[in-house]
Chain A
Amino acid sequence: MSNENFQPVIIAFCCQYCSYSAADLAGSMRLQYPPNVRIVRTPCTGRLEVNFFMKAFENGADGILVAGCLEGGCHFTEGNFLAKGRVGYTQTILYESGLEFERIRMINISAAMARPFVDQINDMIETVKKLGPNPLSGKVQTVKEEIVV
């Protein structure tokens, strides 16, 4: 697939206290952005684990956007800082694994920042379009998991 026709799938993990509301506001304001983004509402970006991001990439996501509150504005005090660290760690793992670390990014958005939210989404889509499709899309077999208690 040529990069010009490529429409990336971006998973946006949005904190319900800020960026999810910003996305809602963007809708109310009739702001247009490409339909490449799949928004997943989270109670706080601090809930997100490195595992979530890795599984999303394994299952073919082309990019991941983690949208948390502005620094210092987290409802749970430090959830967005935890997410920042985990996104950084995921970038390290992706780099070591051979996948471009630019495919995941963290942004900080308040509930009133509908326009910046749309701009950030557009910027992320542009970045991922330049990188091309996730080479793993449809290649990884079903994950087997077993936990012995």
Chain B
Amino acid sequence: MIVAQRKSIPEITEMLDGHKKILVLGCGTCVTVCLAGGEREVGIISSALRISSNLKNMEFEVEELTIERQCDNIFIEKAADAISRNDVVLSLGCGAGVQAMAERFDKPVYAGLDTEFIGILEERATWTEKCISCGKCVLHMYGGICPVTRCAKHMLNGPCSGSKEDRCEVRPDRPCAWQLIYSRLKTIGELDKLKEIKAPKNWSYGIHGGSRIIIREDHRV
């Protein structure tokens, strides 16, 4: 899922300065699960904006709404009435959600969250990055542990020899991905996969080759 974090209230109020009627729009999918932009967070941020605007005499009128998904036309339609009533939308969706809203309505749409990464819930209230969507998956060669994402140096032929006690030398709070890969391949009996020298990665499949588009002709009418 996509993991995001809320922007600070001063950042948001600065963004919204000069507007009066504000729709705080939550998204019921990924950002709800990562406790950043769901119905509950819409309530919290709306309250904070009302408090902040009253203390600073900014006169915000804040309306709250949460739709199932901000990146899907069917659900976006449900926000149309609320958006027409307000001057500006503060979207608590991910970057895709904010842009989907902005493309469909002639109102300013601002991001209330910082979209961070594609990750999983590792343990309670802890999310970790697992995929950088590089466009050419190599997970089958590394026992299901992605060196492109989880190795700070993106090494396809690791390890770098800089790790200390299984921890990454760049980020000591994270485990060394290559240590994990070695242990995993050993457990599943596929250590021989490491003997093969991998060619340098073709980054043009990823964002480095420009923004991507996928068209499935078989599903088009």
Contacts and interface: CB of A to CB of B under 8 A. Distances in A.
Interface string B39-65: 110011011111110111000011111
A30 interface: no
Contacts of A99: 51, 55
A57 B56 contact: no
B65 A146 contact: yes
B176 to A, nearest CB: 30
A51 B51 contact: no
Interface string B56-78: 10000111111110000000001
Nearest to B50: A140
Range class of the A interface residue count: 20 to 34
Contact of B44 (A93, A98, A143): A93
Interface-centre pick from A96, A140, A147 (highest chain B CB count, 10 A): A96
Interface string A47-61: 001110011011000
Contacts of A50: 40, 44
Contacts of B108: none
Contacts of A98: 51-52, 55-56
B44 A148 contact: no
Range class of the B interface residue count: 20 to 34
A136 B47 CA distance: 11
A49 B54 CA distance: 23
Contacts of A93: 9, 44, 48
B86 to A, nearest CB: 10
Given A58-B47, A97-B51, A139-B54, A146 B40 contact: no
B8 interface: yes
B44 A97 contact: no
A135 interface: yes
Interface in A80-108: 93-94, 96-99
Interface in B63-114: 63-68, 78-79, 82
B135 interface: no
A49 B119 CA distance: 26
Interface string A110-127: 000000000000000000
Nearest to B81: A146
Interface in B113-128: none
Contact of A96 (B9, B40, B66, B78): B9
28 contacts: A49-B40, A51-B43, A51-B47, A54-B44, A54-B51, A55-B47, A57-B47, A58-B47, A58-B50, A96-B10, A96-B52, A97-B9, A97-B51, A98-B51, A98-B56, A99-B51, A99-B55, A135-B54, A136-B51, A136-B54, A136-B55, A143-B50, A144-B62, A145-B64, A146-B63, A146-B64, A147-B39, A149-B68
Interface of B: 8-10, 39-40, 43-44, 46-52, 54-56, 61-68, 78-79, 82
